Structure 1
């Protein structure tokens, strides 16, 4: 065989190898996590869990995307694009669960596996993952507010949006808990911040003007307490108000130190991102999602599984963490 023929044969073989490698890469299942908004620290932390699952499991690819601002329509368009690309699985944290039912139904019809987080009313999901019982969680917030307020006075609640199901459940859980205390008065409930700390700040300022004697604030989105804390601090009301809500230690540390925020609770978004991708991978592999199983991260060692709103199931952990000024610095996020 001449040198030219040998080179030609090597080229053909190399081309075949590249083609085979490309086919293998294409066949590797892809799990895409779609969050409410990109750039918020909560979801930046969540992406760490998404990436970690992909690194630990080389047989799948994992990635995270989200709209530039917290908007249900923009989130739906991102999912429509993923449906067109026929990714293997989509893991969604919905901005508005009801608004995504149609596009997630189309995803399922095209054979894409769908799992969700913070959306236990969704019908078009195979598994919805909840870090805990949401109404119980909301009641826990309110109990802390009630104790801080001396169980009397005006209080209010915030949500990322009225379409953010878990936020509404936390607000409702808080309102139900407050009924135990007849001297507590809920005013201007479920203020929408649209996951924007500046909007939460403006809304909190408005409430402080309207109700100058208000004592309690319950935050819903992960940035509400930042905006509320800023408004309280500017007004010099740290010693006259009680602010509790979802948040991350690094985001709220300065307000915990000043007393403008009294306490926060959270579940680690990194763990939630990891669990969403693990469950999506299990679904892709046809593995059973069963009551009592251990998903390998704190708060999800013995999960509860119950029937969902549609054909799927709801998986519930017990992953909450409570922090205040005394211990927030123990958490590096």
Structure 2
């Protein structure tokens, strides 16, 4: 599709009342003041067939804009992005703000639009804050593919390793096992505006209420704390929760930094044998804590595979390929994806990964 403003905007807009990639209610915890809730995206902009490029693949540029350009998680994602670029002989760029700031991420997207990239893969800090600028990208003929953004409207497809509900359920199962299915626990997310973090946490809570009656969430409120994607903040919030709640026996963490801060607090207070920790992380960052028993389980997907899959999906759209159930994005767990219609079109893989003492040394990233 040529880089030009789409000439016609149809009156039919994307329905936003359906379930997204997860059946979980993202809750009312969002305090986002930047979200543009008035943005609607026309059927014309969402027609993936309109984005077929008239250039050769070697002349394409695919940009990946992540939440944080400095974190281990997104450094691992870049491994997959770079691998894709080499294998397909396509120019790829990965950028991310240095401090997981939503306004900075919006500016990075603006920069990519101004550079005239052919496709933009986005992992939003705050999906609502990006709606307008991503719609602008699509109006300029740029393919937009997202990840961790099941309620983002301004995207052709949202790529997920699994449903947020299934992942949240898996984390609660691991926490319940570690806690002996009883006791109080706390939840941590990066921000309440982080869509998937809230979906994981709401799913955990719902699953706990239905399956583990002897467990309870501190203050019965999702989530218990926000880490702002910073280990030091996660540590401080975890320590505060532990000091204020003497019966606290477990933590979950939705951001990859959360369980690191929680582990620091638990070790400092001498509570390794009393408090269980389960959450998202990377093997290299959590290895010591897992092997000494401070962290019980690390739940994740491989961000390198997700980065590769996003780029490959953008490549297929630019190539004019039909996007349908069963397409192969050429990564383990994404070799026969499912398409689920909702707030957006979610491309679902089957790529969960649970690490513990027995298998963490099998992974190096």
TM-score, with length taken from structure 2: 0.82
- Structure 2 unaligned segments of length 5 or more: list them: 1-54
Q: How does 1:222-261 map to 2 (within 5 A)?
A: 222-261=256-295
2:174 paired residue number:
144
Provide the rounded CA distance (Å) in 1 between the counterparts of 2:356 and 2:260: 14
Shift of 1:236: 1.1
1:203 paired residue number:
237
Which of 213, 225, 228 aligns to 1:182? It is 213
8 A contact 1:129–1:315 mirrored in 2: yes
**Residue aligned with 1:215, SS:** strand
1:159 paired residue number:
189
**Residue aligned with 2:248, SS:** coil
Deviations 1:91-127 (A, max 9, x none): 0000011111111011111111100001111111001
8 A contact 2:58–2:91 mirrored in 1: no
Aligned residue-pair number: 307
Q: How does 1:1-333 map to 2 (within 5 A)?
A: 28-58=59-89, 60-179=90-209, 180-187=211-218, 189-190=222-223, 191-310=225-344, 313-333=345-365
Provide the rounded CA distance (Å) in 2 between the counterparts of 1:212 and 1:325: 27
**Residue aligned with 2:117, SS:** coil
Shift of 1:195: 1.4
**Residue aligned with 1:69, SS:** coil
Larger relative contact order, structure 1 or 2 (CA cutoff 8 Å, min sep 6): 2
Provide the rounded CA distance (Å) in 1 between the counterparts of 2:287 and 2:245: 26
Provide the rounded CA distance (Å) in 1 between the counterparts of 2:194 and 2:259: 17
8 A contact 1:232–1:260 mirrored in 2: yes
Q: Relative to structure 1, is the Cα distance of residues 287 and 25 closer, same or farther in structure 2, using a 3 angstrom cutoff?
A: closer
Provide the rounded CA distance (Å) in 2 between the counterparts of 1:54 and 1:225: 32
**Residue aligned with 2:175, SS:** helix
- Alpha-carbon RMSD: 1.5
Deviations 1:244-303 (A, max 9, x none): 001111100111122111110111111111111101111111111110122211111221
8 A contact 2:80–2:306 mirrored in 1: yes
**Greater Cα radius of gyration, structure 1 or 2:** 1
2:26 paired residue number:
none
2:7 paired residue number:
none
- Structure 1 unaligned segments of length 5 or more: list them: 1-23
2:9 paired residue number:
none
Provide the rounded CA distance (Å) in 2 between the counterparts of 1:242 and 1:225: 10
**Residue aligned with 2:216, SS:** strand
Shift of 1:26: 11
Provide the rounded CA distance (Å) in 1 between the counterparts of 2:361 and 2:246: 32
